[in-house]
Structure 1
Amino acid sequence: MKLSEHSNVILLKEIAELLNEETDMERMLTGAIRKLLNGSNFETAWIFFIDGEGKHRLMAQANLPSALEEDDCRHLQKGGCWCVKRYHDGDLEKASNIIACQRIENSIAEKTGDHGNITHHATVPLQSGTERFGLLNIAAPDRERFSTDELALLESVAFQIGSAIKRIGLTKQEQELALVTERNRLARDLHDSVNQLLFSVTLTARGGVEMSEEPAIRETFSDIQHLTQEALNEMRALIWQLRPKGLESGLLEGIKGYAEMLGLELETKVNGVIQLPSRIEETLFRIAQEALNNIRKHAGTDRGQLFLSVTQTDVLLVLKDEGRGFVMDEKLYIPSIGMLSMKERAKSEGGTVEWSSAMNKGTEILVRIPY
């Protein structure tokens, strides 16, 4: 059935209002395709984001048949297909009917669920200007082809979604820039005020030790000097965490610089080319900072080893020492706030952190994050 021009205008207006109001990427995409399905002859839809290497990621889906939804949409999540390949090769420029879909065919062949008589789909690139983000796919039961009017509607919706993706991306960049600016301001204030005061107290306490002849007074000044020096070290570490000076030179240099600041000797080994998204780099850097802090405070050693391995699907960071170690029995051991923070940071990027340790046998931390 051909959709009326009037109903298309109303539908596009409703989708535009949702896209303009929403600030969360996944909610925005899911809401947009649900509105598209409610106001059109399309009955199911899904969106892929595709990176520069052609790797796709399922970002949103609506009203999938059970055969495609089965096992966390594994048929959509894994493997290759013609539309993604055409997109990556630059051959897909407008809404098109797809003659054969390997993902749908595999889901039908395995007979793991009802495919809802969906055998084909149409696809359209999501882009804003020359910047491309991925694909919007739609399908309906017993439909091998969609009409010119339906494909035109699909292109209009894809244009709206592409513009909204660009807007959210720019907003996120602005927020990250504002956060970095605020971190730098706070780090500068701490350095100029608290850091300088602690340094002055350290010098004063040292002078008190040298000037006094009373053992008790000298011991008191010595304790003050020691405690103040510890506080000064903690403050410098905090400033580093707020403003990692070495990270602009790369993840590895940033971690090595932080270890040097803590007085640790860090042996490093890298496998693969380190070209990671900035958010992944910062997450790994923050986790490594906490791990290095634990070595300095608890391991009883000033040496560590860092292994960094980057594959096509994920990055693996291993940090180990040969220090005191600790008990890993979950019934006896309560994770520290720092360790919980490391797990939360990795989890926020879909990754994991694991520990391996035993008394007097050192500690090994394994971080794996997909990208």
Structure 2
Amino acid sequence: MQSNELSNIGLLKEIAEFLNEETEMEQMLQGALRKLLEGTIFETGWIFFIDKKGRQELIVHENLPNALEENDCRHLQKGGCWCVSRFRNGELKKASNIIECKRIENARRAENEDNAGITHHATVPLQSGHERFGLLNVATPNTIRFSEGELALLESVAFQIGSAVKRILLTKQEQQVALVQERNRLARDLHDSVNQLLFSVTLTARGGMEMKEQPEIRNTFKEIQYLTQEALTEMRALIWQLRPKGLESGIMEGLKGYGEMLGLGIQVNVKGVINLPASMEETLFRIAQEALNNVRKHAGVLNAELYLTVTSTDILLVIKDEGRGFQLDDSKKLPSMGLQSMKDRVNSVGGTIDWVSGLNKGTEILVRLPY
């Protein structure tokens, strides 16, 4: 066996061991790409993930020339190219030499930067079985074509990476299932223990108020009844958040039910076909829940409007009330934990959130999520 083949086997073994140990997607891809470049003639590389709608996302890159790295790799982030087009069309099956790269040429022209001799790259799909995730691209200065052996090595590494990507995705799915199961268990426990206890205290306070004639004692029992009723409503809202009801009939029906549980009248307006991934549906549900909680606690009204618009690229959710509103100072923190929670959820999926409000002018929350 030739020394080059032994070297390749050693590299594949090293990359396989690394992939097997990593549990975080980005760290895994970055490390595997770095090891590939260190052990081969390839000197620079980048990885795209491409979703089912054909939208690409630059996940990691290593040792890019200035022309590609400038402005947050904007020429890799946007625009078209041969490799992505072939991937979208299902025509890219194995490692291939790229005759020319539109992205590299556009970057060199636009930025007037040195491309370090990088003009062409090789590309290979990342997949596991019939499931495809994206592309691994590599390049070497002053090289317009790689040998069959180099492409074969690239395919082997891509196969390893694709299998590791699938493993991490499956692990995350299992974690989500476990999380849902734990939420359901906690919701049942709260319903069977604390919820029932609060209900009993409410009945006891009502009975005490009716039995006693002294105004002071009656008022004390009345206050206890009021506080326990508020605590009971809060507990039911918490149980709803842990185990949402009504989602099987659609997210808007589920939110209408949640609003009714809070004592709110909800007007729903929907545009577009709602057929959302479960993770996106839950994100929207949680954001709207927080907004409705704020209406009940702070707005001073018992009605709210929900608008949901779904397009081919975005989801727009608007929650509106005609309540007392608030004055938001950009130099200060958000006025409630609920607003901060919504902002964090939106940011976690790459969306945007804005508020339009004023004292005694109501509040309008606008959420836009990529779809």
Matched, 1:160 2:160: yes
Of all paired residues, the percent bearing the same amino acid is: 70
Structure 1, 334-343 or 8-17: larger mean CA deviation? 334-343
Q: Deviations over 1:30-79 (max 9, x none)?
A: 11111000000011111111111211111111111111111111111111
| Aligned equivalents of 2:363, 2:95: Cα separation in 1 | 54
Name the residue aligned to 1:185. 185
CA offset at residue 150 of structure 1?
0.4
For the 8 Å contact 1:3–1:40, the answer to whether it is kept is no
| Aligned equivalents of 1:44, 1:331: Cα separation in 2 | 43
| Aligned equivalents of 2:330, 2:105: Cα separation in 1 | 46
Give the match's secondary structure for 2:114.
coil
Name the residue aligned to 1:53. 53
CA offset at residue 334 of structure 1?
5.1
Matched, 1:300 2:297: no
For the 8 Å contact 1:346–1:352, the answer to whether it is kept is yes
| Aligned equivalents of 2:165, 2:365: Cα separation in 1 | 36
Q: Deviations over 1:309-359 (max 9, x none)?
A: 223333221111111011123357752222222211111112232211111
Give the match's secondary structure for 1:274.
coil
Q: Deviations over 1:224-247 (max 9, x none)?
A: 111111100000000001111223
Give the match's secondary structure for 2:42.
coil
Instruction: Output the amino acid matched with 1:7.
Output: S
Name the residue aligned to 1:213. 213
For the 8 Å contact 2:30–2:61, the answer to whether it is kept is yes
Instruction: Output the amino acid matched with 1:71.
Output: N
Mapping of 1:247-262 within 5 angstroms?
247-262=247-262
Alpha carbons of structure 1 residues 330 and 77: separation in structure 2 relative to 1, 3 Å: closer
CA offset at residue 215 of structure 1?
2.0
Name the residue aligned to 2:115. 115
Name the residue aligned to 2:73. 73
| Aligned equivalents of 1:64, 1:250: Cα separation in 2 | 46
Name the residue aligned to 2:317. 317
Matched, 1:94 2:94: yes
CA offset at residue 145 of structure 1?
0.9
Q: RMSD of aligned C-alpha atoms?
A: 1.6
| Aligned equivalents of 1:310, 1:173: Cα separation in 2 | 25
Q: Deviations over 1:168-222 (max 9, x none)?
A: 0010011111111111000000000000011111111111122222222222111
For the 8 Å contact 1:195–1:235, the answer to whether it is kept is yes
For the 8 Å contact 1:70–1:112, the answer to whether it is kept is no
Structure 2 runs not aligned, ≥5 long: none
Instruction: Output the amino acid matched with 1:242.
Output: L
| Aligned equivalents of 1:217, 1:257: Cα separation in 2 | 37
For the 8 Å contact 2:41–2:140, the answer to whether it is kept is yes
Instruction: Output the amino acid matched with 1:130.
Output: H
Give the match's secondary structure for 2:224.
helix
Alpha carbons of structure 1 residues 303 and 99: separation in structure 2 relative to 1, 3 Å: same
Matched, 1:36 2:43: no
Name the residue aligned to 1:230. 230
| Aligned equivalents of 2:75, 2:197: Cα separation in 1 | 61
Matched, 1:327 2:321: no
Mapping of 1:141-160 within 5 angstroms?
141-160=141-160
Structure 1, 244-253 or 134-143: larger mean CA deviation? 244-253
Pairs aligned (count): 370
| Aligned equivalents of 2:10, 2:114: Cα separation in 1 | 33
Instruction: Output the amino acid matched with 2:224.
Output: I
For the 8 Å contact 2:33–2:45, the answer to whether it is kept is yes
Name the residue aligned to 2:103. 103
Name the residue aligned to 1:274. 274
| Aligned equivalents of 2:68, 2:280: Cα separation in 1 | 30
The runs of 4+ residues in structure 1 deviating greater than 4 Å are 331-334
Instruction: Output the amino acid matched with 2:18.
Output: L
Instruction: Output the amino acid matched with 2:59.
Output: M
| Aligned equivalents of 1:216, 1:146: Cα separation in 2 | 90
TM-score by length of structure 2 reads 0.96
TM-score by length of structure 1 reads 0.96
For the 8 Å contact 2:356–2:363, the answer to whether it is kept is yes
| Aligned equivalents of 2:71, 2:351: Cα separation in 1 | 20
Alpha carbons of structure 1 residues 291 and 85: separation in structure 2 relative to 1, 3 Å: same
